[in-house]
Amino acid sequence: MADGGQTGGRRFAGRVTDFGLESAPGGDGVTRASGRYNLYEDDGTTTKASQSATTGIKYTETGSGHTLRIGPATGSFHRQVTHGEWTVKFLNARASKGISVNGEPLAADAHHWDGTTRTLTVELPRHNIDAPLTLAYH
């Protein structure tokens, strides 16, 4: 995220299919912080902005609630994937009391809390890149 997030992807046959995102809430895990990031993608061979896509990512904290919104991809390029999977790591976080994706509870085996490193790792389900995805936890 802005001021502390990282993204990365695993390439398959020259195309990114899985995405990773790390978000660091307020430095002490208690302080509220929000951030935005735009993921930029292209086919790796062009410099034309018209042959690229961006995905807006927004993180917000309200009280004990945390929300990560991954927007739909805007734009397109040759060989762009239509579906993707995200792994999100919340650094310096607190254990979650509940996690949902698009308002539906996330399966218990799709997330992991590491109390030693204070990291909450969430595996989001495969989804269409043209649809927004909202992850919430408290």
Element (H, E) at 124: none
Two tokens at 39? 């993921």
Instruction: Place 47 in a pLDDT band, splitting at 50, 70 and 90.
Output: confident
* pLDDT of 30: 52
What is the average pLDDT score of the chain?
82
Instruction: Calculate ∠ Cα 92-94-55, nearest 5°.
Output: 65
Query: DSSP labels for 15-47?
Result: EEEEEEEEE--STTSSS---EEEEEEEE-SS--
Handedness of CA 43, 44, 48, 52 (dihedral sign): positive
Q: How far apart are CA 37 and CA 22, in angstroms?
A: 11
Instruction: Place 101 in a pLDDT band, splitting at 50, 70 and 90.
Output: very high
- Quote the pTM value: 0.79
pLDDT at 27 over 80: no
Q: How far apart are CA 93 and CA 3, in angstroms?
A: 16
Task: Please give the residue that has the higher pLDDT: either 47 or 98.
Answer: 98
Task: Please give the residue that has the higher pLDDT: either 104 or 20.
Answer: 104
* pLDDT of 5: 43
Task: Please give the residue that has the higher pLDDT: either 3 or 134.
Answer: 134
Q: What is the pLDDT of residues 51-74, one digit of tens each?
A: 999 999 999 988 788 999 999 999
* pLDDT of 24: 67
